Amino acid sequence: MRGLACLLMFQTHCYDAWLGGAARNTRFLKGSQLLGTLPAPIFLFLAGVSFALVADKMIRKHLTPAEITRTLLRRGVEILAFGLLFRLQEFVIAWGWAPWSDLLRVDVLNIIGLSMILMALCCGAVLKLCADTDGPGLRVQPGGLYQGMPSGKARTAGNKHGFSRCTFGLVAACIAAVALFAFLTPPLYTTWRLTWLPWPIESYIDGCHNLGSPQPWLFPLFPWAAFAFAGLAAGFILFSDVLSGNLATRDDRESRSATILALFAVTGAAAIVAARQLDYSSFHLYSTYDYWHTSPNFLMMRVGMLLLIAFASYAWCRRGLATWGFSPLIQLGQTSLLAYWVHIEFVYGRFSLLPKRAESILGASRGLLEIFVFMLLLSLVRTKVDWKRIDWKKRVMSWKKTSGWVQPA
C-alpha cells in the first residue's frame, strides 16, 4: 500500500513539474492531480496502522502505559524532526530564490510526526484509564494478543472483560478523534480561525502559511490528522483478537485478517455512498461548504477509499501478481520515506531530470519511468546491502592507496 502511494506520488509530482504548454490544460493533468489526492491520506493512514502494531507489541511485553507513551512519543518526535530537517534541506538547496518562510511550511512529514505525537498521548491516556480501572495490572492467558499492561494480579483464564474494554476504548477514542478533526475543520478554516496566533503556529491548524488564508496545498492538522487516527482505529481492530478469541494456527489468523479487511471494504463502500448522498443533499451543517478541502463528506469519502485500498492491497499480496515473485510496489513500500525524500530533488529541485513546465505528456511519462526505476534501484541498494557489515575504514584506506593518496609502506 505504501508502494502504491509512492507510485501515485511520483506521477503527480512528475506531471505537475514537467508538463508545459497545451499539456497543462488537459483532462490528463486533471486526472493526475485527482489521483494525487490519495498519497498523503495513504501515508497518514498507514502511519496510524503501524502505530497500532507497535503499541500492540509493547502491550504484549507488559510495558506500563507511561513506558508505551514515552516510546510512541519519541517516534513521533523523530518523524517531526525529519520533517523539519527536510524543510531545511530544501531551503539550502534552493538558496537564493526560496523565501525563508519555506523553512516553516507545513509539509506531509511534519503532520505525520505531529499526528504520531497526538496518537501517543491518546493511546497513553486510554491505557492509563484501563490500568487504573482494572487494578494494579492486567494479564490474560498466554497466547492472547493483549497479554500485558503492568504485571500484577492475574485474571482468570476466561475473563477478558478488561481487555475488551481497553480495546474498545482505544478504537472508540480514535473514532472520536476522527470525528473531532472532521467537524472542527470547516469552522477553523472560516469563522473560528485562530488569527491571534503567530502564523507559523496557526499554519499547523489551518494551513494559512504567511499568506493570510488557508492554502489547499499544505497539510495542517485539520483535517489531515483524521486519516492517521482512522488508521490507528483500523490497526487496533485488525491486530486485536479479543472479539474472536485466541487463534492457534497461522491459517486461522490469516483467514480472520482477510475477513476483517473484507468488512473494512464493505464499510468503505458504504462510507463512499453515504458521503456522495450527503454531498448531493440540500442539508449542510456549515454556512460555507467546500467539498474538496474542508467538508466532512469528502473526508468520509477518502477514508472509505482508504479502506477499499487496504483490502485491495491485501488481495494483491495474497492472490495477485505480488505472489509471482519480486514486487516493485512492495519493494518501494519498504523505503517510502527515502523515496519521498530523494525524488523531490529530481522532480522539483535543482537536479530536475527534465526542463520544468516544458514537456509533452510523452516526454513527462518517460521522465516518470526514469524516476520510478531510479527510486526502485535506490530502494534495492538500501535494503539488499548489509551496510553494517562493511568495513568502511578499511575500504577508505584501500581506496587512498590505490589512488596514490597514501604511499604503501
The model's pLDDT over 199-255, given as tens digits with 9 standing for 90+, comes to: 999 999 999 999 989 998 899 999 999 999 999 999 999 887 644 445 556 677 788
Contact 62, 150 (CB under 8 A): yes
Alpha helices in 240-321 (DSSP H): 250-280, 296-319
Name the DSSP letter for residue 19. B
Contact 38, 10 (CB under 8 A): no
Does the pTM surpass 0.85? The reply is yes
**What is the three-class DSSP state of 386?**
coil
Number of residues that make up the chain: 409
- Give pLDDT, residue 256: 85
Non-local CB neighbours of 224 within 8 Å, separated by 6+ positions: 40, 41, 44, 111, 115
CA–CA separation, 40 and 106 (whole Å): 13
User: Looking at the predicted structure, is the pLDDT value of residue 394 above 70?
Assistant: no
User: Looking at the predicted structure, is the pLDDT value of residue 191 above 60?
Assistant: yes
Q: Is 236 exposed, middle or buried (0-12, 13-18, 19+ CB in 10 A)?
A: buried
Q: What number of CA atoms fall less than 13 Å from residue 236's CA on the CB side? A: 26
- Give pLDDT, residue 136: 46
User: Looking at the predicted structure, is the pLDDT value of residue 149 above 70?
Assistant: no
- Residue 244 backbone dihedrals phi, psi, to 5 degrees: -110, 0
Residue in this structure with the C-alpha cell 523565501, named with its chain if needed: 99
CA–CA separation, 63 and 20 (whole Å): 56
Name the DSSP letter for residue 325. S
**What is the three-class DSSP state of 359?**
strand
- Give pLDDT, residue 285: 83
Mean pLDDT across 116-121: 96
Mean pLDDT across 134-146: 43
List the Cα angle 107/113/118 in 5-degree steps. Answer: 125
**Alpha carbon 175 to chain centroid distance?**
17
